[in-house]
Chain A
């Protein structure tokens, strides 16, 4: 905006949005979401390739996740030179998938009904081990991090 102040009388209210605008925006948003999903699937594929060809100990999707984090961190760093298209398309899809991650594993989770026998037979070890190891994990991480961090920050960033 370096054109200087507009001459009086030249500023007109923006024209009302045309009817086709909503449809156009909707199509653009859908296209952007599809592009973002395709990019994420590209990382799934890349992770799978990396797992197969490099004999990584990481499962393909986890390798893809690490690669994706790396690329995102790099885009953040070189924001001036990287095209914003990548993060622009991929971020909304990624955050929406994560918000409703719970929904995505409902079909898998229902499979618990096929495991009813295991739960009936071994409910005691399952219960004690789940509660015990989860509580221990919470305690160890929380206590260690609390101890190793200098006195509480005046304000959480």
Chain B
């Protein structure tokens, strides 16, 4: 790597962090509105910069590898909230596991079926499979079942936003009022974005959202290959 290349890499890293900080500030201003998502804002800003400077995506991805590299230890770090809240899982083992597995399977199978029914390709159905898992896990699972990791990551983020936007309506319709159930469902179906949406509800929902993210990551990684095999 030559010196100008190094400088350019540092600039792209700084620009990425800057765009994310702008996104965080915007979310604060919008008082946590689910559609004002810091990651979404950062994506739009960085994509705009790439377009304006005529930089190919591959160059940008190569420059920002140190950020992407941290995804692996961050995935491992998910063990922390799981271990911290393990007593909650033990206290209501059956409801938590039943809710998680049923929700995870329902989400995977319905996603695949809807894509196929509406004429989507096999590749798209595969990328749709790990969508409910948190983005870094969705990406590695996609890699394992032969789906496009980038597409899977985009769909995972889209799924998280969807969950954050519609969870209030869904729970009102079904009269789900139990804070733990709301937290678990938000984390299971909406991963990080969904969890952020229920954090203001209190410590209990936040803990169950963390459990939902962690355990759904695990369940998706275990079950997605099976569903993919069934899909053929």
Contacts and interface: CB of A to CB of B under 8 A. Distances in A.
The majority secondary structure among interface residues of chain B is helix
Number of contact residues on B: which range applies?
A: 35 or more
A115 B94 CA distance: 40
A142 B98 contact: no
Nearest to B196: A102
B54 interface: no
Given A107-B16, A109-B39, A138-B167, A145 B74 contact: no
Interface string A108-142: 11111111001100101110111111111111111
A145 B39 contact: no
A95 B210 CA distance: 12
Contacts of A17: none
Contact of B162 (A103, A111, A135, A146): A135
Nearest to B99: A145
Nearest to B110: A133
A129 B170 contact: no
A94 B77 contact: yes
Nearest to A122: B120
The majority secondary structure among interface residues of chain A is helix
A145 B166 contact: no
Contacts of A105: 39, 68, 71, 135-136, 139, 153, 157
Interface string B208-226: 0000101001100110010
A76 B181 CA distance: 26
B83 A76 contact: yes
Contacts of A156: 179-180, 202-205
A33 to B, nearest CB: 12
A109 B157 contact: yes
**Which of A100, A103, A104, A137 gathers most chain B CB within 10 Å?**
A137
Given A105-B153, A130-B162, A110 B43 contact: yes
Given A98-B80, A129-B120, 4 more contacts: A105-B136, A107-B61, A110-B50, A137-B185
21 contacts: A37-B73, A40-B76, A58-B221, A68-B80, A71-B79, A72-B84, A98-B74, A101-B74, A105-B39, A106-B43, A107-B68, A113-B50, A119-B154, A129-B115, A131-B166, A134-B131, A137-B104, A141-B99, A153-B179, A156-B202, A157-B204
